[in-house]
Structures are given as structure tokens and as C-alpha cells.
Amino acid sequence: MLHRFFKGNGPVSVRIDDLEADGQGDIRFAEARLHLSAAGGAVGVVAYTIKVESAEGVEYSAILNGSPDMTLLTDSRYAPDQWPFMRVKDHLLFEYANGSNRTWGLEVIYKSARA
């Protein structure tokens, strides 16, 4: 399993477009864990999304998670039952507006599709 870690205190906008840099070729996306230092707290629905951006075009891109509202949450864990297959030329994108500027940490877990 491969782990990537990201952190910040403004909007979450993490794009992973170098999956092949790990020398694994195509991958299976296993899990993403987002932690906020305190509940999101912003007014209105504040969605956190995980997307696959296909290198073949937007018509093949997809949202993976259910866009949970982070207003009252400090943690979001996305771990699909079936690990989505991704080609190395595709991109993973994690976005959350973070209107209250909470400190955040994101852990992304995946493995080689060959394993």
C-alpha cells in the first residue's frame, strides 16, 4: 500500500497527477481520510468531493464520494468496497472550500493494480 500525506489551513485543493512517479503503473484507489482541526462550521452546505479526472476527457470523469457536508464534521473517511481502477494518466482531485480555515490533513491510500 502506498500513502500520500497533504496538509494545510485554507481550502483543500489537492490534485494527484503523478501516480506513476511511484513506479506502480495503474493503481487501485483504496481510501482517503480527511481530518479537520474542528468541525467545518461554515454556513450552508459545505461539500467535500473526491473526483477522478479522466485523461480521456470530462465525459469520462466521475465523482467518487457522496460529497458529504462537512459543516458539523471533523473527519471524513472514504473507503469504497470495490477499489476503483485508475490509469496512471488519470488524476485524483480532492476539494473542500474550508470557509472557516480549519487546519486539515489528508491521507490518500492506494496500491498497484498489478498486485
User: What does the pLDDT look like over 78-98, one tens digit per residue?
Assistant: 998 888 888 888 889 999 988
Exposed/middle/buried for residue 40 (C-beta within 10 Å: 0-12, 13-18, 19+) = buried
Mean pLDDT of 10-16: 92
pLDDT tens-place string over residues 48-71: 999 999 888 999 999 988 778 888
> How many angstroms separate the CA atoms of 23 and 18, rounded?
10
Domain span at 104: 2-112
pLDDT at position 31 over 90: yes
**Predicted local distance difference test score (pLDDT) of residue 106:** 97
Q: If we measure between CA atoms, which residue out of 20, 5, 4, 8 comes closest to residue 91?
A: 20
**Predicted local distance difference test score (pLDDT) of residue 13:** 94
pTM above 0.95, yes or no: no
**Predicted local distance difference test score (pLDDT) of residue 94:** 95
DSSP state of 61: -
CATH at 46: 2.60.120
The structural domain count of the chain equals 1
β pairing state of 2-8 and 48-53: unpaired
**Predicted local distance difference test score (pLDDT) of residue 45:** 61
